[in-house]
Amino acid sequence: MSSLTSKLLNPNLKTLTPYESARRLFSGGTDWLNANESPFCNELEVEVTAYNRYPDCQPQGLIDAYANYAQVKADNVLATRGADEGIELLIRTFCEYNKDSILICPPTYGMYKISAQTSGINTVEVPLKEDFSLDIEGIKAIDKVNIVFLCSPNNPTGTLLDKNDITQLLTHFADSALVVLDEAYVEFSPQQNWATLLETFPNLVVLRTLSKAFALAGLRCGFTLANPAIIQSLLKTIAPYPISAPVAQIAQKALSVEGVALMREQVNYLAEEQTRVRHILSNKAGFSLKGGTEANFILFQYTYRTQLMQYLVANGMLIRDQSKQCGLTDCLRMTIGSREQNDRFLLLIDNYLNDSGEVA
Ligand SMILES: *Cc1c(COP(=O)(O)O)cnc(C)c1O
């Protein structure tokens, strides 16, 4: 690094490694089962013809469409560049630089901590218990945090958090902290839906995205759902034109009656594939399934995970190593792809086992 950049670099960033997104880690490959994307490439044509005007900060048609889909009011909805921007806005809006803290429960999604670090905010970690449930006593023992990030269904465990546990935390932090429930995978597990409880819990925030079940990761469109006072505060921090005109149009189309019906069909397909792949994988020598089925991926443990990963990468099959996360020794995460991709994944594992003679 040049002496000028190292002299000027924000001290909070000196030790930071940027988020190792699946796309940053591996750029090649033929089968991308490493970022929980959808295998479906839906056609969504746009009618935007004029680009000379700035878009609305919060395009009304898009806000209304998501409010209708999530069954909340329009003033409960903030549209962002992916759920990731929602995470960052919450931290920048509700935490004070070099003073405040957020709380996370690993193993979980990596961006909460990275966003906190880049914003000069401390992260307190209270790991999930061995069965991936919340350590309620451990969380309650933490003195002062401004935001509690919970992920349910959780990435990368595919498990739901217990409803009563979440309620307890919402009550415990009622006067001191926001409780953010990241529901990026809610469409794969519709039995819980916290968006309908915003009026009951004024400190509840729900994060949503079009990147997973809606098959629009490339669009960069997510939503933060909360009470109007929280949404109004976030509007102080958000960029003036975060949602480009074509993004708003495409997202609105995806949220139409036909768009939602297509999404549900595709979610069913992925659920069937998940059941099938889990069954086959669990019967392979040395492989053990971890976590749950509430999202679009499978977490599994395999002792020779490094060798297996290398073999898969060499054959263009990309999955994600989760073994650095607490409690996930030797764990890998495979996103459910198309039937053909899943079969190729399973075939490569058989080939690997035959070639290497390794079992655990
Ligand atoms: C993928 C993911 C996100 C990010 O979604 P974007 O809308 O693509 O930014 C947020 N939270 C979790 C838990 C995720 O898995």
Judged against a pLDDT cut of 90, whether residue 247 lies above it is answered with yes
Average pLDDT score, the chain: 95
pLDDT, position 324: 96
Percent of the chain with pLDDT over 90: 87
Any idea where the domains of the chain sit in the sequence? 3-38+259-352, 60-256
Judged against a pLDDT cut of 60, whether residue 360 lies above it is answered with no
- Distance of alpha carbon 131 from its chain centroid, rounded? 20
Question: Ligand 1 centre and the CA of 109: distance in Å?
Answer: 8
Point out the ligand 1 atom lying closest to the alpha carbon of residue 87: 10
Task: Tell the burial category of 340 from Cβ atoms under 10 Å away from its Cβ (0-12, 13-18, 19+).
Answer: exposed
SS (H, E, C) 215-227: CCHHHCCEEEEEC
Taking residues 233-253, what's their average pLDDT?
96
What is the C-alpha to C-alpha distance for residues 278 and 298, in angstroms, rounded to an integer? Answer: 7
Q: Strand (E) positions, 157-252?
A: 178-182, 204-209, 222-226
Is the distance from CB of 119 to CB of 261 less than 8 angstroms? Answer: no
Pocket of ligand 1 contains residue 151 by CB under 6 Å: yes
- Substitution site in 211, 294, 336 for ligand 1 pocket (most atoms within 8 Å of beta carbon): 211
Taking residues 15-21, what's their average pLDDT?
78
Q: Which pair of structure tokens corresponds to residue 178?
A: 């926001």
Taking residues 69-96, what's their average pLDDT?
98
CATH fold of 3-38+259-352, please? Answer: Aspartate Aminotransferase, domain 1 (3.90.1150)
Judged against a pLDDT cut of 80, whether residue 81 lies above it is answered with yes
Residue 311's H or E segment, with its range, is helix 305-314
Judged against a pLDDT cut of 60, whether residue 279 lies above it is answered with yes
Question: Ligand 1 centre and the CA of 82: distance in Å?
Answer: 7
- Substitution site in 155, 180, 335 for ligand 1 pocket (most atoms within 8 Å of beta carbon): 155
Question: Ligand 1 centre and the CA of 359: distance in Å?
Answer: 34
Question: Ligand 1 centre and the CA of 152: distance in Å?
Answer: 12
Question: Cis (ω within 30 of 0) for the bond into 153?
Answer: yes
Name the pLDDT band for 234 (thresholds 50, 70, 90): very high
Pocket of ligand 1 contains residue 222 by CB under 6 Å: yes
What is the C-alpha to C-alpha distance for residues 100 and 85, in angstroms, rounded to an integer? Answer: 19
- 140-178 confidence digits (pLDDT tens): 999 899 999 999 999 999 999 999 999 999 999 999 999
CATH number for 60-256 (one of 3.40.50.720, 1.10.150.120, 3.60.15.10, 3.40.640.10): it is: 3.40.640.10
Is the distance from CB of 89 to CB of 57 less than 8 angstroms? Answer: no
Same fold, 3-38+259-352 and 60-256: no
Judged against a pLDDT cut of 70, whether residue 276 lies above it is answered with yes
Task: Tell the burial category of 236 from Cβ atoms under 10 Å away from its Cβ (0-12, 13-18, 19+).
Answer: exposed
pLDDT, position 13: 85
- 100-145 confidence digits (pLDDT tens): 999 999 999 999 999 999 999 999 999 999 999 999 999 999 989 9
pLDDT, position 188: 98
- 42-59 confidence digits (pLDDT tens): 988 887 778 899 999 999
Pocket of ligand 1 contains residue 109 by CB under 6 Å: yes
pLDDT, position 16: 82
Pocket of ligand 1 contains residue 294 by CB under 6 Å: no
pLDDT, position 357: 66
pLDDT, position 297: 98
The torsion region of residue 72 among left (phi > 0), alpha (psi -120 to 50) and beta comes to beta
Name the pLDDT band for 358 (thresholds 50, 70, 90): low
Name the pLDDT band for 19 (thresholds 50, 70, 90): confident
Question: Ligand 1 centre and the CA of 211: distance in Å?
Answer: 7
Pocket of ligand 1 contains residue 209 by CB under 6 Å: yes
Determine which residue's CA is closest to atom 14 belonging to ligand 1.
184
Pocket of ligand 1 contains residue 155 by CB under 6 Å: yes
Question: Ligand 1 centre and the CA of 206: distance in Å?
Answer: 12
Judged against a pLDDT cut of 60, whether residue 359 lies above it is answered with no
